[in-house]
Structure 1
């Protein structure tokens, strides 16, 4: 949510901050999250592990970096080549946020898979996970909009998000390496 919120500030110098700009940003985030949920759910069915989970975080952190590194030149190119700010902002949102948000969307279904140990508790586990995820999104939104933007530049905030994702990925991979615990599949079989 923090990156989505900052998306408005990133696009504003080129496309303004009207309702269609926010419509573009929200559409891209919702669309890419939906693809991420599908991909993450499918990926979680094949040998789920903390190492693969950590790799999703690492890949997400890496795909966020182009927002910091190339957003200016990308948006300038789009701005100069697409006259209508509606389609320009939609194209810029796709270019900047589509891939990282797909990867971020993969985290939730993969998390459910790692946390579910039996079919009877799957709904409860998913409910708690989505509660924590939504609460975290709300806190990230309020902290970013009320505090981070007052003290830090947008690129510094996004770079921090990127580094945090990579650190979480490294922690998951390291934890998996040193605590090789088998993952149960929902049929009761155990896999290494």
Structure 2
């Protein structure tokens, strides 16, 4: 059962990395009709994602110190699903409002990026430190496990970038891809919660 739990955590970390970079890459396509696709548009998107992820790392690390469990881990994915969905539903009216009220595309794109991506990316950023907490049971192996986890997560990010840019955008519209990412996160969360209910009899994770 421990092997199943650990394997699931690595798999979910991989998928979260895939989704994060897929959404970030699509951010440029989402903002382009209103703000263009110049370098400062990408500067706005990257800045928002980096700030959001950094805050998510802090919050995820803090949350993981309070009776970390696979079920709670799954709820992070469910919340991410809920927060990602509005990107597909409300991006157009949000950007239209910002575009008509802020003339400078630099600050308009920065505000639009904040409105669309800040909260979902904060939630997604919580996944990595929480994953480490679930995997580490012996302090002398924490560095090795963290290294493997970030390797898996970053590999997922790389694949998310290449597959989204090379294939997804050619076959589907942006909102469909975003919705698929949201549904995937929700399903992964449900899987984690269900499996987590079967491992509650294991020894608890100690601080």
Q: Same-fold call, TM > 0.5?
A: yes
Post-superposition offset of 1:185: 1.5
The yes-or-no answer on 1:92 pairing with 2:112 is yes
2:157 equivalent in structure 1: 137
TM-score by length of 1: 0.96
1:4 equivalent in structure 2: 24
Gaps of 5+ in 2: 1-20
2:148 equivalent in structure 1: 128
The yes-or-no answer on 1:75 pairing with 2:59 is no
Q: Is the 8 A contact 2:98 2:112 kept in 1?
A: yes
2:63 equivalent in structure 1: 43
**Over the residues paired in the alignment, what is the CA RMSD in angstroms?**
0.7
- Taking the aligned partners of 2:115 and 2:203, their CA distance within structure 1 comes to 39
Q: Is the 8 A contact 2:61 2:129 kept in 1?
A: yes
2:85 aligned residue (44, 51, 65): 65
1:116 aligned residue (120, 131, 136): 136
- Taking the aligned partners of 2:81 and 2:204, their CA distance within structure 1 comes to 25
Q: Is the 8 A contact 1:114 1:183 kept in 2?
A: no
Post-superposition offset of 1:8: 0.0
Deviations 1:40-95 (CA, angstroms, capped at 9, x unpaired): 00000010001110000000011001100100000000000000000000000000
2:11 equivalent in structure 1: none
TM-score by length of 2: 0.89
Q: Does 1 or 2 have the higher relative contact order (CA < 8 Å, sep 6+)?
A: 2
**Structure 1 runs (4+) greater than 6 angstroms displaced:** none
Post-superposition offset of 1:183: 2.9
Gaps of 5+ in 1: 187-192
